[in-house]
Structure 1
Amino acid sequence: MADNDSSTAERGAWNSKLGFILAASGSAIGLGNIVFFASNAYQFGGGAFYLPYFIALFVLGIPVMIAEFSMGTMTGRSFPMALSRLVGKKGEFVGWWSLGSALFITMYYVAILGWAFCMMVGAIFGLMEPGATAPFDPFLEPSAAPNAQVYFFGLLASWWPMLAVLAVWGLTLVALWKGTETIEKTVRVAVPLMWVFMIILIVRGVTLPGGTDGVMYLFTPDLAGIAQPDVWKGAFSQMFFSLSLGLGTMTAYASYLPKDSDQVNNSFMVSLLNCGFEYIAGIAIFSMLFAFALNPVGGTLSLSFFAIPQGIAAFPFATKVFGFAFFFLMVMAGVTSAISLVEGMASAVIDKTGTSRASALAMVAVPGVIGSVITTLPFIVDPGLGGNGTVGLNFLDILDHWAFGYSLLAVGLIECVLLGWVFGADRLRAFVNQHSKLKLGAWFDVLIKYFIPAVLLTVIVWNLYLDLFGDGGLYGSSYPLGPVSWFPVVIPIVWILGTLGLAAYLTSRPSAEEPAEPVFPAV
């Protein structure tokens, strides 16, 4: 793919638009798309969730993605350096803070992939068979039938996930070794395979007795539910998380595109591919859950590692094949997202310091591997399972709650304020319209400057209030127990001080190059 910006050509470039679309959609399609969307849809009223979610796609998801893609092509730089060129050092600080949080997220995200990898292997050798035990009080006796929960907790208390984590990090770094060249080769295989395996699961799910009842529930709107504020809050939160916004990955990928790329078209394609995958994943998951009367309420971990494998174990035939297919799908979806997370950070280090790609990858991978290893520590701290059982799972749960639950929304809020008010939403729109067949109107400025910041601020304040004062909030419960009871206090402090300190340090360092001010279109 030709590039009319020599600096971008030196950094790397996609060989084709298809490669970029596959990479960006692979980044957006992750573990949460497979089960978390279905969980949210059930929690917020099944079909009632779809209308708010569809609205959120057009008034939040696609506009922010247009902005993040455009920052990359406008400047030819990764997230913090793109913000630096557009709004100065304050923007660069926000960009580095975002990537600092992304590093924490990558630590435990790869750990989850390690568990999925072990469960994928286990689907062939023992997960779908009776006799599993776990070193926890409720599960000391071998199970009389296949029991995914017992198998998973037994896995957590072993050292095997640590080896799987190292393997996943190895696969991720190999895919990133030559930048866009190896990323594109990887996603050209991984992303189509994800769709194929999901379609296989759909066919199996809807052909089960009662499977179509789940599909009907998922798509039948409960109009009374649409009036509930929680439904809209859930839809807007899910949309932001689903599209990998606020992590710097989309800007990094777009920085390898030509300056004249049509980012409206690209944003629609990537967003619709992501949401389309979520919709068909909902069909697969709901058909299995309803067929075997399993409870769809739960987070990504409980659905992925307990409920769905338990349903697959009840299939009349080929349980090992379908069990392997489900966890293979999880691993592929997760790896394509992990690749984008690491690339977002590595490309920023390269842009800032001028170091080699190998050195930049090492700077990201070393702390990342250490964090992933901590997340897979098998030491049991709660044998009664009143909390999460092991040190690693407690560490993951608290870190995910803060680093993922708040940083993405906060970065998106600040990003829209900086682009809308400091750089100017009208200037951004003028750049986008230069190269897009579908022109953005003044409504885009209103969304970036007013509507999206107001929505994100409302969700952040609401979530924080519930965490601090709500009955079901993180600090209103007795969890976690035992020697890690300090986790809920210390982990968020380490996250916020660590990421802010890193952002301040990197922002204060001189850049490897002091580029000329980019030329932006007149309004």
Structure 2
Amino acid sequence: MTKTKKQEWNSNLAFLMAMIGSAVGLGNIWRFPYVLYSNGGGSFMIPYIVSLFLLGISFVLVEYAVGYKFKRSLARILYSIKEKFEPIAWFILLIVFLITTYYICVVGWDLIYFVLSMTQQWGANPDLYFANNVLHATSSVYGIFSIVPNVFVSIFLIWVAACLILRQDLNDGIGRVSKILLPLLVLIVIGIVVFSLTLPGASIGYTQIFTPDWSALGNLNVWLAAFGQIVFSLSLGMAIAMTYASYLPEGSNLVDNAVLVAFSNSGFEVFNSIGIFSILGFMALTSGLPFNELVTEGTGLAFVVFPQVFNTMGDVSLVIAPLFFLCILFAGITSVIALLEGVCYSISEKFLIERKKTATIVCIVGFLISILFSTSLGSTILGVFDTYLNNFALLFAILLECIIFGWIYKFDDLIETLNKNSRIQVGKTWKVVIKYILPICILGLWIQGVWTTISSADTLSIIIMAALTVILIVIPIIFAKLPALNKDYYNV
């Protein structure tokens, strides 16, 4: 067996485009506007900015420093710190992989709507059309045996696209795609925002961002919402930043890059929200509906509310609607390949499987799991997966990472790594944040997430979550126990 070829970014620009592309995803486009509006409007920007510095940039710096210093996969990094930590790495990677399997389904729905938007086939009742014609949704457990052809095909196409990108060398695949899709995404968003500001009633919407509810600042849930948005928006704890940073060449400027990525991501979602709110303001004016009835999050905003808006726009919507769904598609694809890269890297490094073969295996297994979400019961299963994996499993994984890198590993080594080539220096304040403040914030989010998950669970949800719990315990242990074919894997 020969060693797998070590990948490395051919430029800092490639790294930045890939990192920003991984961060800018569906959460930026449809989650942030709802979180912003429902947590005090303009005043939410205060806890949001605090969270960005306190939580977002701080944790990204940890991931950058660890990935760059070790230049290994997450599984091998945790094994190097302590042998017993390897199952934790596979636990984190399995969470990320399972999240990807349903995330791709949502991107697949968007692909369907990109096609539908050219003729606005959703008709006068987009809500009913989404449930009945696209998802063929049912609450019956027997729906799991009924495949929805259009969803199945769209999921298959997204997995094929992801596989083709991941099979390429780092710079020819992820690097090149990020350099193409991210600028296109930004141009589309700029075009949509500029157009939205010209719509009648736009001010009804965008003023929501600049109209603060100062009383919201005294609400702990608002601060937790800000921390939660940063966690999901920057994909913290998903091994993306750690993996991408491990590909950086010597002499890279870590701190400056982390700040640039974090601010680019946040700037994108705030700017995008101006467009989203302006379009919803137009809808409120033309339909007579209260603005608060139009603001929702997730699939409801993208596949129900916006088609309703496009129905009232006239011929111009035949251009704006496809651009909107193309925007979501690009954001989804760049995030998908980032989520899968860390999984592929760990498997490839431990078992000495070449990149192409690893990507193919991972994508085939992922597609087989995604078939669950292409059934008539798929949207229900997806909701349970999303709630459990994000509110419970992922936050717990991030908490474990905080403890390992903040308390068990030699933290001063990370400070030295970050400061070596960076203009912006970190020191004792950052150390205090990582060791004390960050774990407390994550613990608060996790407790809230556990309570939300348990209190809203029905019988089917409990069964699915119990199965996921067993899977998340057993499979990581198996992967950790399997002997590495790469003999250097055990060199600490």
Instruction: State whether residues 245 and 408 of structure 1, in contact with CA within 8 Å, keep that contact through their aligned partners in structure 2.
Output: no
Distance 1:82 1:326 in 2: 40
Correspondence 1:109-124 to 2 at 5 A: 109-124=103-118
Instruction: State whether residues 89 and 507 of structure 1, in contact with CA within 8 Å, keep that contact through their aligned partners in structure 2.
Output: no
Distance 2:276 2:168 in 1: 36
Note the C-alpha offset of 1:517: 5.9
| Residue in 1 that maps onto 2:258 | 267
| Residue in 2 that maps onto 1:321 | 319
State yes or no: 1:67 paired with 2:67: no
Distance 2:460 2:384 in 1: 7
Distance 1:445 1:119 in 2: 46
Distance 2:311 2:447 in 1: 42
What is the one-letter code of the residue matched to 2:392? Y
Correspondence 1:292-441 to 2 at 5 A: 292-293=283-284, 294=291, 295-378=293-376, 391-441=377-427
| Residue in 2 that maps onto 1:192 | 183
Distance 2:382 2:169 in 1: 29
Given the alignment, which residue of 485, 488, 491 partners 1:514?
Answer: 488
Given the alignment, which residue of 463, 468, 484 partners 2:449?
Answer: 463
Distance 1:23 1:402 in 2: 28
1:125 partner SS: coil
Given the alignment, which residue of 127, 132, 146 partners 1:149?
Answer: 127
Note the alpha carbon deviations across 1:148-178, whole angstroms, 9 max, x for none: 2222121112411110111111111111111
5+ long unaligned stretches in structure 1: 1-6, 131-145, 379-390, 480-485, 519-523
Note the C-alpha offset of 1:90: 3.4
Distance 1:50 1:272 in 2: 13
1:254 partner SS: helix
1:279 partner SS: helix
| Residue in 2 that maps onto 1:34 | 29
| Residue in 2 that maps onto 1:474 | 456
Higher helix residue share: 2
Distance 1:244 1:361 in 2: 21
State yes or no: 1:125 paired with 2:119: yes
Distance 1:192 1:501 in 2: 41
> Normalization by structure 1: what TM-score?
0.86
Note the alpha carbon deviations across 1:226-249, whole angstroms, 9 max, x for none: 111111010001101100111111
2:84 partner SS: helix
Given the alignment, which residue of 180, 199, 206 partners 2:197?
Answer: 206
Note the C-alpha offset of 1:106: 0.8
2:422 partner SS: coil
Note the C-alpha offset of 1:425: 2.2
Distance 1:120 1:89 in 2: 47
State yes or no: 1:280 paired with 2:262: no
Note the alpha carbon deviations across 1:364-407, whole angstroms, 9 max, x for none: 112210121110113xxxxxxxxxxxx00001000000112222
Correspondence 1:495-510 to 2 at 5 A: 495-510=468-483
> Normalization by structure 2: what TM-score?
0.92
Distance 2:155 2:202 in 1: 34
Instruction: State whether residues 246 and 412 of structure 1, in contact with CA within 8 Å, keep that contact through their aligned partners in structure 2.
Output: yes
Given the alignment, which residue of 31, 46, 50 partners 1:51?
Answer: 46
| Residue in 2 that maps onto 1:175 | 165
What is the one-letter code of the residue matched to 1:223? W
More divergent stretch after superposition (456-465 vs 13-22):
456-465
Distance 1:296 1:242 in 2: 22
Distance 1:259 1:508 in 2: 33
Stretches (4+) displaced over 3 A: 515-518
| Residue in 2 that maps onto 1:449 | 435
Distance 1:79 1:220 in 2: 43
| Residue in 2 that maps onto 1:232 | 223
Instruction: State whether residues 27 and 336 of structure 1, in contact with CA within 8 Å, keep that contact through their aligned partners in structure 2.
Output: yes
Note the C-alpha offset of 1:191: 0.4
Identity %: 30
2:441 partner SS: helix
Note the alpha carbon deviations across 1:279-310, whole angstroms, 9 max, x for none: 11111111111221253443311111111221
| Residue in 1 that maps onto 2:143 | none
Given the alignment, which residue of 84, 87, 93 partners 2:87?
Answer: 93
| Residue in 2 that maps onto 1:11 | 6
| Residue in 1 that maps onto 2:247 | 256
Note the alpha carbon deviations across 1:293-332, whole angstroms, 9 max, x for none: 2534433111111112211221143112111011111111
1:224 partner SS: helix
Instruction: State whether residues 313 and 323 of structure 1, in contact with CA within 8 Å, keep that contact through their aligned partners in structure 2.
Output: no
Instruction: State whether residues 104 and 336 of structure 2, in contact with CA within 8 Å, keep that contact through their aligned partners in structure 1.
Output: yes
| Residue in 2 that maps onto 1:108 | 102
Distance 1:314 1:235 in 2: 33
What is the one-letter code of the residue matched to 1:53? Y
| Residue in 2 that maps onto 1:162 | 152
Q: Which has the higher contact order (CA 8 A, sep 6+)?
A: 2
State yes or no: 1:221 paired with 2:212: yes
Distance 2:393 2:195 in 1: 38
5+ long unaligned stretches in structure 2: 137-147, 285-290
Instruction: State whether residues 32 and 269 of structure 2, in contact with CA within 8 Å, keep that contact through their aligned partners in structure 1.
Output: yes
What is the one-letter code of the residue matched to 1:116? D
Distance 2:126 2:272 in 1: 20
Number of matched pairs = 469
